Structure 1
């Protein structure tokens, strides 16, 4: 291992103050990098959540899209995104310097990385809302535009010292969004709404104007993804302090993390109870509703996690849980928008409530703590204006972009591919290859003793569409369909097992060989 330490006789001697200053600077950069790495892990959380929420035939497709959030996002944000967001020189609207990171100081690399993972988060919100029917090439385009142009401009407005929302353009007001309820989540939710609206619903999602449930293929995977996101949000919000070396930094980071978990927990509980009492149409203790409610609470607290008391974080979470349920019903049943992940309800609904909540509950200068001062109400108005501005900016750019992609015929896959699944025709890599299931012992079982699968009184031969027939002999046995033995399966849709979309499996009795 090479010795990278500087020879003391060759380097100029530093004073104690200079050494201390360098140490503090290094600690701040290390803090940003480590928090950025934890936020980067949220990409895995989104990948698992989205993969579990789509059907098995589209799993590879959605996972690859999440990988490309990182790949395309990194290149776009390196080339132009960071320059638009924080480049110098700049004006009220946009930065225009340091393209390809040229000319930046060494200490800014950590800043670039932390904001890159924020940009990637905004981008990945969209992929879930448009899942299972969007052309892969269209995804490449909107990922580059979102991370390279749309997000950086909004970030400049709210977080750059010269941005118009932060400076207040002479009003004496400043946009309050500590960790991105507006910049990340309103933006991502608006883009998701635009994309899902323009691409249209999945085949079979609505019949005669009424929504039809299309379930994801694995709830455990979705739950794992949500837990990873919970962890990532702690760094997402705590790391937004940007430093750890100044007096009081540790307290702010701790408060942000504490408020994040309180808000998320209260929102998850409220959403679960709303589902259980039947306000959403049925009476169940729903895992998925609880997960989405908790995520909405964490989205909502982003804006003010550093500037509200824990009791206020609990209230913000409660309202966020209610907001999630309301937005979810509005998007699906009123607007008739098909959003497989409920991304619009979680991110747009939670984000907008978050930017409203900060001026109300802020520990200093909030409407409640100031006794309803005029300045506090002006701050509320400025935050609402900022949220609307971000939504309008994002909506104009993304709706135009998706509209052009649709007119060009490259936004949505063919109906046949959508019905059969994107994994095989688009990627040649099914997430669950059928030849990988089962075992060779079935070959010793007499043919007449093998149970048969029937769909609407029609016998179906083994499905060889996913592999070589020589590898598929074991598929004649129900065990190859990943049904535990012994078991009875009745009335299960066989869409993902080689049956047509209308077929149902008759009872199968698996017997131990």
Structure 2
């Protein structure tokens, strides 16, 4: 009788733990899903008025096509798991694996959302959707599987090699490189292939296109910042793994990025509202191993890096027209975050240890190499086959009327 009671209690405890973990990661998935509204409003507030509807539609449809691509192809490439079994089997362990898929999908779908901001105002609709599906089905899951699941490629295990060579695996707790830098560098390829917007550069000088709506831009930044605590903290994926350190490190990096962008960007509201995002991008990789003071420094450097790189690139490279600055924000700050985890995660600098600077450097550069290669292959191929750039008249009229046949307001 006693044995039976103990077994019942153990079973009840196990069920409670499974249910708690399922609820925990579900809340994380919902918070990161909400971040896609942040991507949408950040783009809506930045682009010109004639492209606001297109910005909203792109983010939502990209999410839809990303879900299909990741469910049927990408998740299996990354983790070797598919869902082609009976529903009874799917709901075992309270459906934790299903909710885990939902959570990781929101990360995968962030890649097209990142790219969208860089190529805004001049890209065709369906060709870019096709590109998004290929990126989420093939390119992103390849990197995700190698880094987060330890997948081998043709018998070569990258993470095992890093550990054997440099003493530690590549550490990216919440995706500074796997998600953000990869998205930024894929966007880098797409931006180069598309070219700059008409009228953006005249006689080698930049013609400023002011943001259409600062309140919408600010709303997008705030939604992203709040959702980021689900992005980072809930990357633990279980209640047992939750860490207050991740939350505080995320907070300190966010604040550091904000203040740095304010100073370097001379109080420009666009820079100030992207500053916290730069800090949050950079802290993702080492948020579970760095000291809060280290995170503050990492975030502050990221905020300054974003402002400097955005201004420098837009002025010095006239064909590189990155509307929202996704390459410096995600690509460069994500790269910095991957490397920074190997610096400020060291015990000598107050971190938890277990990281290697060389592993972080090599791993970050490897992720970028795959992203750039995949980006040029996907967007280059689609551009050659069907073209990804709007014609000059459609671009002049704006994507809202040219693609969706309606403006943001009833009188448009």
TM-score if structure 1 supplies the norm length?
0.74
Cα shift at 1:265: 1.0
Out of 40-49 and 15-24, give the one that drifted further.
15-24
Equivalent of residue 360 in structure 2, options 383, 399, 404: 383
| Aligned-partner Cα distance in 1 for 2:184–2:11 | 45
Please say if 1:297 is aligned against 2:279. yes
Deviations 1:128-151 (CA, angstroms, capped at 9, x unpaired): 100000000121111101211111
| Aligned-partner Cα distance in 2 for 1:147–1:300 | 22
Alpha carbons 1:168, 1:175 under 8 Å: kept: no
Partner residue of 2:330? 347
Does the C-alpha gap of structure 1 residues 329 and 425 become closer, same or farther in structure 2, counting only changes over 3 Å?
closer
| Aligned-partner Cα distance in 2 for 1:75–1:409 | 22
TM-score if structure 2 supplies the norm length?
0.91
- Secondary structure of the residue aligned to 2:131 is helix
Partner residue of 1:121? 110
Deviations 1:459-513 (CA, angstroms, capped at 9, x unpaired): xxxxxxx5xxxxxxxxxxxxxxxxxxxxxxxxxxxxxxxxxxxxxxxxxxxxxxx
Which structure is larger by alpha-carbon Rg, 1 or 2? 1
Q: For 1:221-236, what aligned pairs fall within 5 Å after superposition?
A: 221-236=216-231
Equivalent of residue 243 in structure 1, options 238, 256, 260: 238
Does the C-alpha gap of structure 1 residues 13 and 270 become closer, same or farther in structure 2, counting only changes over 3 Å?
closer
Please say if 1:76 is aligned against 2:54. no
Out of 396-405 and 414-423, give the one that drifted further.
396-405
Cα shift at 1:216: 2.3
Deviations 1:189-242 (CA, angstroms, capped at 9, x unpaired): 001111111100000111122211112211111110100001011110001011
Structure in which a larger fraction of residues adopt helix? 2
Deviations 1:314-354 (CA, angstroms, capped at 9, x unpaired): 11111111211222134312333111101111101110110
Cα shift at 1:405: 2.3
Partner residue of 1:175? 170
Partner residue of 1:419? 396
Cα shift at 1:160: 0.6
Equivalent of residue 45 in structure 2, options 46, 49, 52: 52
Unaligned runs of 5+ in 2: none
| Aligned-partner Cα distance in 1 for 2:347–2:305 | 22
Equivalent of residue 152 in structure 1, options 136, 141, 155: 141
| Aligned-partner Cα distance in 2 for 1:165–1:341 | 33
**4+ long deviations beyond 6 Å:** 101-104
Equivalent of residue 184 in structure 2, options 167, 180, 189: 189
Partner residue of 2:349? 368
| Aligned-partner Cα distance in 1 for 2:205–2:127 | 28
Please say if 1:34 is aligned against 2:27. yes
| Aligned-partner Cα distance in 1 for 2:151–2:190 | 31
Unaligned runs of 5+ in 1: 1-11, 88-96, 277-284, 435-465, 467-513
| Aligned-partner Cα distance in 2 for 1:131–1:223 | 18
RMSD: 2.2
Please say if 1:394 is aligned against 2:368. no
Alpha carbons 2:21, 2:96 under 8 Å: kept: no
Q: Which structure is higher in RCO with an 8 Å CA cutoff and minimum separation 6?
A: 2
- Secondary structure of the residue aligned to 1:145 is helix
Cα shift at 1:301: 0.4
Partner residue of 1:67? 60
| Aligned-partner Cα distance in 1 for 2:131–2:118 | 13
